[in-house]
Structure 1
Amino acid sequence: MGKFYALTSDEVTSLEKENQALVRSLAGECMVVLENDGALPLGKEERTIVLYGSGARNTVKGGTGSGDVNSREVVNIYEGLKAEGFNILSDDWLDRYDKTLEDATNAYMADINEKAAKQHVPPIMIMFSTPFVAPDEELITQVKDADIAIYVISRNSGEGADRYDVKKDYELDDNEVKNIQFLAANYKKTIVLLNTGGVIDTKVLRNTDGINAVMIAGQMGNIGGNIVSDVLTGKSIPSGKLTDTWAENYSDYPSSATFSHNNGNIDDEYYTEGIYVGYRYFDTFGIKPAYSFGYGKGYTDFAYEVDDVIADEKKVYVSVTVTNTGSKYAGREVIQVYVTSPEGAIDKPFKELRGFAKTSLLGPSQKETVTIAFDTASMASYDITRASYVLEKGQYIIRVGNSCDNTRPAAVLTLDRDVVTVKCRNLFGLDEAVEEIQAPKREKEDISGLKEIALDSSKFTTSVIEYQIDRPVLEDKRSGEKLTMDDVKSGNATLKELVAQLTLEEMANLCVGLFDHSASNVVGSASGSVVGAAGETIGIPDRKIIPTVNADGPAGLRLQPHFKTTADGQVLPGGEVFGLSRNPFPDDTPADAIDYYQYCTAIPIASTLAQSWDMELIEKMGHIVGTEMQQFHVHLWLAPGMNIHRNPLCGRNFEYYSEDPLIAGSCAAADTKGVQSFAGQGTTIKHFAANSQEDNRMYNNAHISERTLREIYLKGFEIAVKDSQPLSVMTSYNLINGIHSANSKDLLQGALRDEWGFKGFVMTDWFSSQDARSIGLAPANVKYDCASSPDCIKAGNDVQMPGSKQNVDDIIKGVEDGRITLGDVQFCALNILGVVAKCE
């Protein structure tokens, strides 16, 4: 009989209520006010409004794909405002749009199902590459008897497909523009809300007279409507700051011309912008954005004064006093510290974020002193000629502000000679030449009068990385006993002694996900104790080795919300949910079937959470997920996603935090600490690494220089590993310089384990070492092949998900043929069991 931890009642639980209440109390801080002439917050007398836009009743709670969450309900913005007592006069328009949307959705699913039937694949495989596009809105032609108009712009995206620089995606479409202009011309107050997971063009919003406020509501999870209502009425105070640069034009992004489908080449992506991603590019090359990185208003204003900068060869401390200079509203401010490094042999951006701090809630005239601290060595750049991180001699200018575009110099640190902080080895040689752009020569800056601090090169220490050379075979020295995990837990045996007793076949199965030999696995196919989980590792009962249950994220757990079993615990068909695809329970479902329920909280998406710049808030969100993992007995959350927002059109940016690795790494570490505050539960930071493109995501080759990888695309992962030690890491689908990330020993052993000290296990993304083209997850005609199963083992990619018999056979054959060693397989098994021991 199967054992399930799902609930047998569909009543709202106290945990659901507690988690949603906590989300509601915190999430308003993630919203970013782009424009506000005093229109917000709305007064108590301002309760008669008109509400328009695709997101008014069809508010997007979060992106599509495995990052979705099957919550009990979704409170849209219309419902949130109605619950707050707003009188909404535009129901007629909203009713008509609802019908238009329903018809479009039905037509879309009919087309998807027809294509799936012809290709003999599940509908979700077609949906990955063919996302739903909302229908056109009808034009607004009537002026209602209200003073306030609210217009909600929604955009959705997800895994498997990138966005486009076209109308109704990155750009506003014609009807959206006309409707916004109509409202701005006919109402005393017009407020525009952006229900988006990423950047869109804002020229119309910034150049239309009569728009009084623009706010990024983001995608706030399943009670987003309540959260938006709280912020609009001032119950919650928005204090978010941008974690991406919002450009004046899409073409201003340095990767715009060649990104993904833009140049017709989805096989190869050349990172010619190098380290100049986001604000590093705009700032260094003098390109003025619409809204800069770190920018965000609130309902009040602040002044700040640098009290002091203290620095030595270990740490830099910047103390800043912040004052709320407003007279009416409270607020929180984010102080950001950037560093301009000296021009030397290594090309450098004009400035880079090195630290930040957010004040507590300050009322009018209240002040607070915050201190931002960061490691002096964090200012080092990677020098490929020395295979080292180097602080070049010269002046390091400390800049303090409340956005990238609003900083001022506070102090100068002067280093007398070059210092090597970490001695590495070059790991990521290019397979093809990539001509990277170089920074223009800077104009000399007047820094006279600033505090000067001398750094002594002789007082720095140099870390020298020791790299693993081989993996010796573990010999069974206790052959007269049959060791189990219980022996390890009791101290009677070590993990190495247990692994030494496992057969090659046992370990090959352990290194492959728990698969169904009779059917093709798909995402969310696990049918063990947690129905709808993404997958499981295998258990070995006679060794007391349990399977680990893995559930999707990163905006909450994605489980099957309702399933049925027979009386003896056999899971019955029906109830599967994947976005718009819903499988009903069949008519022949037994009358005595047992119903189970697994409703989970959808927290705000990663790109919205990051805008809080509040690591304690994000840790609390991780704790929310941890409580539900504990309830449903999920061991590993396949989250947080933390790739860099290289380009705003990446379809999966909503799952990731920022264009900046310090923000991304700090957020992922905070999320991990929240989840891992519960014993036996862990996160799986992903997608490692450089998953910047969704079109042909499984067979795309990212050509990236060593320095760019280390300073931009790997740095966030390094921060997260060192700060929070997640239990697991998931590799990305793409190749990096001709080698699949899943097959890169330099990435998984050299960087992740040897340089950063990672202690958990590594898993592949789903089907990385299987031919995904046969099940419709990838285009039929691609330039590169899938990852190799034996090479995953050689690289230290411990678990191949979701797994297949072919994976097991390939691992065994790889040892027999000498392609990999028994020591390689034992090494992976040891990593897996190290995590299993913590998940008991």
Structure 2
Amino acid sequence: MKKKLLAGVLLLALILSSLYFATRKTRRRIIPEEAPPALPSVLEEGRELARSVAEEGIVLLKNEGVLPLDPRSRVAVFGTGQHTTWWYHEGGSAFVPLSPNRVVTLLEALLAYGVKVDEEISAAYVPESLPTKTNEFPFTEEEVRRAAERNDVALVVISRYTSEDFDLPRRGGWFDAGWWFTYYRMQLQGSYYFRGWELEEDEINLIDAVCRHFDKVVLILNTPHAIGIAPIVEKVGAILWVGYPGEVGGYAVANVIFGKVSPSGKLPFTWARRWEDYPSSRCWGSQDVVYCESIYVGYRYFDTFDLEPLYPFGFGLSYTSFEMQVERVAVEGSAVTLAVKVTNTGRYPGKEVVQVYVTPPAGRLEKEHQRLVAFAKTDLLQPGESQSIEIAFDIASAASYDEAGGSWILEQGAYLVRFGNSSRSTRVVAKLVLPRDVVVEKAAVRLNSEYYYRRAEEKGIPILRRTPEVKPWSYLGENAEIAKAPTIVIDPERIAFREGAAPPYYPPTYEKPDADAVVTLRDVVEGRYSLGDLVGQMSVEELVDVTIGLRGSSAPSLSKRGIPELVPSDGPNGLKAGTAFPAAVVRAATWNLELEREVGRQVGREMLWARISVWLAPGLNTHRNPLGGRNAEYYSEDPLLAGTMAAAVVKGVQSNNGVGATLKHFVANDQEAYRWVSDSIVSERALREIYLKAFEIAVKTAKPWAVMSSYNKVNGVYSGNYFNLCTGVLRGEWGFDGFVMTDWWSRSYNFRAYIAGNDALMPYTEESSWATWAAYSFVVNQVKEALANGTLTLGQLQRSAYNILKVALRSRALAVMLGVSQSDLYTYEPPPDYFKVKKTQP
């Protein structure tokens, strides 16, 4: 079917819909007047799983004996976030659109559970009562005082909205959409008020008034990331961060508030006291953005430079208490094993997270104070119950990247092994001594650090350095722990060495088979011809049709080839037609890899139900700054937590066989401002240790079908046109065997993508008055001209088609097309996990 996708119109529609959800004033019901229509069973299963995930992802930041509440409590709920501006997802392509009956706000959940909610207070938040600008109702002191007399506890809900295509402002204000549409020369009429990272005066006044009159005040944060709550944190009795908790998030929050579930979430990011405390605040938001903080992102900065956060990475309270004891530390080759016993010493059932960090020795390379290397979450432990957990990680995961030699190196010295339940509550349990330097992997100097240092100097931006004068965070008794910890010598000869491959810039050409018949994908499956034969027989037009839009044989030139369409669907928070799961940042806060794998299994089941082949998720960009507009759909500031969570969800999706996942956005797409044309200027070391590492973990331990390149440039080159990224690192060093696609209408959408190893150009657009570079006919002419003048080789174009068809051979869509069993076609075999966890039964 002929398709005309007008890119500008679609993008404008996306933004308008996001603005609608950000500024809407009404919801037609508080509780449903009639039962919603029944969902398909697969979505009912997803809905129940979404609630469980949200419950585990909620983080209790503070509790002075306020929570859990007595179910008989009379509750006054303040703040528009309780219902009108309750966000289950952020806007943009990660948003899963649902009918209103499927979304459960906090107020709806409280009413559905029969909680005694103060109707006079909640009624004040109906649209007619809301001020035009702030969306907060200005209660008088007397009204708050009377509410305190009628109720036992106050809940204050603060929400923040973010979306693809714009970042959270630092301070709220009237937002003219034109400023971030400047590049497209479009202008939306009117302005919209968006709240920013800082709390606003009306929010502070509301919290102050409530705290003056209520003895028990619970602050609930329906936000995508940390926001500036330092001015009021001492005033309230309890604080819950609930993030964007998905379609039934209201039920999950209510279950935690009233003690049906003990919170077990841990922060996947560092919560600073001030926005200026984040080191990227010095170099954020410009079109050419220098990553001035180098490797010191998140807790790696706060711990190394001894800056006290409001709440540290990995932090989260519970209604119960736990005792953790290390029973054994052992080394076998390069594998380090900790045996930990966790006991519930409190009065409530609960779960705890064991976090393992390594402090590397000082050496020639400057290093962060500590690095997360493994973690494990317990099962639900009843009061008095214990569980033993064995965690094994490779000491090579503590290696640093040497830009000079293009290698990963463990420098000689003592590596301190720490464990605890947050980055600021660990203790040293072993000293691993390496008697000499060991190169664990030989990569290559590929990613142009010279450009980074030159551009930083030109822009006058100093690069953060750990000088000898910098003293890291420490704690009372740490030196005694280090002295007491057992010393284990690691044999350098038993640490494996790996050398990355150097894939050819000019791949060989597939020759046309000696056959008159048209070779089809069925012929390849049934062994009559090889995939190379099929690709070798294709014309240039056919090869281009394979690579644009994943259309398969719906492309006219491919009608006889029997190639299935690989139908894609967003996004990181759930399939577009499926369950609206909690946002990825909330799922990361569960620190539960088994649960995230189950999310993936459910997404895969929904893909089969909806006939989707490729899920455009998970998102793996880094929480470089809390203002990042898409932080909610990315996991963490830490690459190990992000990478292992992504690997878990990919394994879950692909365990359904015949459907696949996509890692995105590759790489350094960490802000939304200027994202289509921005240049992420990053040192090779920071790229490899922080921004690429999460992708590396997921590629090596999950074998995803696809990777999506990002809109932005990386050190001056658009990511999808960057051979050293798409082929050198991704395929040569990591062994990726899927295909790479562009983001939609990316500036990488051109013949240079084939040279780089970016195989698929997305989407298919026959013509466009806006994204003229991303029009099908334009690319076809480009390719013919480049082949004629030798800029592009036939082998490079064939390689891209081959990579896509290799994945098509795994697909359920092909099995259905051919009428064969999926097990006869392809069965997914997941690689080993990045680190190993064994748990006994409680």
TM-score norm. by structure 2 comes to 0.83
1:405 paired residue number: 424
Q: CA deviation at 1:38?
A: 2.1
How many Å apart are 1:406 and its aligned residue? 0.7
Gaps of 5+ in 2: 3-35, 173-194, 457-461, 473-477, 765-774, 815-842
Cα distance change on mapping 1:650 and 1:301 into 2, 3 Å: same
Q: Counterparts in 2 of 1:573-588, with a 5 A limit?
A: none
Instruction: Judge conservation of contact 2:335–2:394 (CA < 8 Å) in 1.
Output: yes
In structure 2, give the amino acid aligned to 1:833.
Answer: L
- Which of 692-701 and 480-489 deviates more? 480-489
The match for 1:156 among 146, 161, 177 is: 161
Q: Secondary structure at the match of 1:709?
A: helix
Aligned to 1:49: 75
| Partner of residue 268, structure 1 | 288
Which residue, 470, 479, 499 being the options, matches 2:515? Answer: 479
2:821 corresponds in structure 1 to none
CA deviation profile, 1:43-70 (whole Å, cap 9, x unmatched):
2322x21111121013100100001001
Q: How does 1:208-227 map to 2 (within 5 A)?
A: 208=235, 211-227=236-252
Instruction: Give the counterpart of 2:570 among 535, 538, 552.
Output: 552
In the alignment, the residues of structure 2 paired with residue 813 and residue 100 of structure 1 have an alpha-carbon distance, to the nearest angstrom, of: 63
Letter in 1 for 2:251: N
Distance (whole Å) between structure 1 residues aligned to residue 603 and residue 124 of structure 2 = 35
TM-superposed deviation, 1:480: 2.5
Q: For 1:181 and 1:765, how far apart are their aligned partners in 2?
A: 46
2:47 match: secondary structure? helix
- Please identify, of 51-60 and 282-291, the stretch whose mean Cα deviation from structure 2 is larger: 51-60
1:76 aligns to 2:81 (yes or no): no
State the partner residue of 1:815: 787
Tell me how far 1:201 sits from its aligned partner.
1.0
The Cα of 1:25 is off from its aligned counterpart by 3.0
Cα displacement (A) at 1:99: 3.1
Residue 247 of structure 2 contacts residue 581 of structure 2 at CA under 8 Å; is this kept in 1? yes
Query: In structure 2, what is the equivalent of residue 566 of structure 1?
Result: none
Residue 303 of structure 1: how far off its partner (Å): 1.4
Mapped contact 1:539–1:546 kept (Cα < 8 A)? no
Equivalents in 2 of 1:233, 1:606: separation in Å?
A: 25
Unpaired runs of 5+ residues, structure 1, are 3-8, 105-132, 261-265, 516-527, 530-535, 560-599, 770-786
Amino acid at match of 2:674: N
Give the aligned residue type for 1:135.
N
Q: Is the 8 A contact 2:587 2:596 kept in 1?
A: yes
Q: Is the 8 A contact 1:697 1:734 kept in 2?
A: yes
Identify if the C-alpha distance between structure 1 residues 478 and 286 changes in structure 2 by more than 3 Å, giving closer, same or farther.
Answer: same
Cα distance, 1:148 vs structure 2: 1.0
1:782-793 superposed matches below 5 A: 787=748, 789-793=750-754
Matched, 1:173 2:200: yes
1:507 corresponds in structure 2 to 543
Question: Contact between 2:550 and 2:567, CA under 8 Å: does it hold in 1?
Answer: no
TM-superposed deviation, 1:747? 0.3
Q: Is the 8 A contact 2:71 2:115 kept in 1?
A: no
Rounded to whole Å, the distance in 1 between the matches of 2:121 and 2:413 is 66
Change in 2 beyond 3 A, CA 1:390/1:537? farther
Are 2:559 and 1:541 aligned? Answer: yes
Q: Please say if residues 20 and 601 of structure 1, whose CA atoms lie closer than 8 Å, have aligned partners that are also in contact.
A: yes
Q: Which residue pairs with 1:651 in the alignment?
A: 629
What does residue 828 of structure 2 align with?
none
CA distance in 2, matches of 1:538, 1:614: 46
Could you tell me whether the CA contact under 8 Å between 1:514 and 1:537 is conserved in 2? Answer: no
> Could you tell me how far apart the structure 2 residues matched to 1:427 and 1:226 are?
49
Q: How many residues align?
A: 721
Alignment check: 8 A CA contact 1:537 1:547 kept: no
Is the partner of 2:70 in helix, strand or coil? coil
More helix by share: 2
Partners of 1:314 and 1:69 lie apart in 2 by 43
Q: Would the alpha carbon gap of residues 651 and 94 (structure 1) be closer, same or farther in structure 2, given more than 3 Å must change? A: farther
Query: Partners in 2 of 1:678 and 1:541 — Cα distance?
Result: 28
Amino acid at match of 2:82: A
SS at match of 1:50: strand
Deviations 1:197-243 (A, max 9, x none): 111012133121xx221001111111111111111122222100001
- Deviates most, 795-804 or 722-731: 795-804
Pairwise mapping of residues 672-683 of structure 1 onto structure 2 (< 5 A)?
A: 672-683=650-661
Amino acid at match of 2:337: Y
Deviates more, 1:339-348 or 1:316-325: 316-325
Query: Cα distance, 1:94 vs. partner?
Result: 3.8
Cα separation, 1, equivalents of 2:221 and 2:267:
13
Q: Which residue of 1 aligns with 2:579?
A: 601
Residue identity opposite 2:303 in structure 1: D
Aligned Cα RMSD in Å? 2.1
Pick from 793, 801, 815 the counterpart of residue 829 of structure 1. Answer: 801
Equivalent of residue 245 in structure 1, options 256, 265, 270? 270
* Rounded Cα–Cα distance in structure 2 between residues aligned with 1:537 and 1:174: 57
CA spacing shift, 1:677–1:538, aligned 2, 3 Å = farther
**Change beyond 3 A, Cα 1:23–1:737:** same
1:432–1:703 Cα contact (<8 Å) kept: yes
User: Are the aligned partners of 1:642 and 1:657 in contact in 2 as well (CA < 8 Å)?
Assistant: yes
Q: Is the 8 A contact 1:468 1:754 kept in 2?
A: yes
Counterpart among 666, 669, 676 of residue 647 in structure 2:
669
Could you tell me how far 1:71 is from its partner in structure 2?
Answer: 2.1
- Say which SS state the counterpart of residue 257 (structure 1) adopts: helix
| SS at structure 1 position matched to 2:355 | strand
**Residue identity in the other structure for 1:390:** I
In 2, Cα distance between equivalents of 1:212 and 1:377: 43
Query: How far has the Cα of 1:91 moved from its partner?
Result: 4.3
Aligned to 2:232: 205
Percent of pairs with identical residues: 40
The answer as to whether partners of 1:391 and 1:418 remain within 8 angstroms in 2 is yes
Q: What is the match of residue 306 of structure 2?
A: 286
Residue-by-residue CA offset, 1:618-661 (whole Å, 9 max, x unaligned):
11112221121111100111111111101111101011000000
User: Following the alignment from structure 1 to structure 2, what is the Cα–Cα distance between the partners of residues 439 and 148?
Assistant: 47
Structure 1: how far apart are the matches of 2:209 and 2:355?
39
Do residues 493 (structure 1) and 510 (structure 2) align?
no
Structure 2: how far apart are the matches of 1:51 and 1:656?
A: 30
Q: Which moved more, 1:700-709 or 1:66-75?
A: 66-75
CA 1:275 to 1:375, structure 2 compared with 1: closer, same or farther past 3 Å? same
Other-structure match for 1:40: 67
Shift of 1:397: 0.6
CA distance 1:134–1:65, change in 2 (3 Å): farther
2:667 corresponds, among 676, 686, 689, to 689
Q: Which residue of 1 aligns with 2:184?
A: none
Shift of 1:86: 0.8
Give how far 1:539 is off. 8.7
* Partner SS state of residue 657, structure 2: coil
Match of 1:773 in 2: none
The separation in 1 between residues aligned to 2:366 and 2:411, in whole angstroms, is 11
Decide whether aligned partners of structure 1 residues 606 and 788 sit closer, same or farther in structure 2, where only a CA change above 3 A counts. Answer: closer
1:703 corresponds to: 681
Match of 1:348 among 353, 359, 367: 367
In 1, Cα distance between equivalents of 2:107 and 2:704: 39
In terms of mean alpha carbon deviation, does 505-514 or 401-410 score higher? 505-514
Amino acid at match of 2:105: N
Match of 1:369? 388
Question: Which residue of the partner structure matches residue 395 of structure 1?
Answer: 414
Deviation, 1:248, is 1.0
Cα distance in 2, alignment partners of residues 829 and 697 from structure 1? 28
Q: Which amino acid aligns with 1:629?
A: M
Q: Deviations over 1:377-416 (max 9, x none)?
A: 1111111122110111111010111110111110001011
Residue 305 in structure 1 maps to residue 330 in structure 2: no
Change (3 A) 1:95 1:371: same
Aligned to 1:614: 592
Q: Deviations over 1:286-330 (max 9, x none)?
A: 10000000100011111111111111332111111111121x211
**Which residue of 1 is the match for residue 335 of structure 2?**
315
Q: TM-score, normalised by structure 1?
A: 0.83
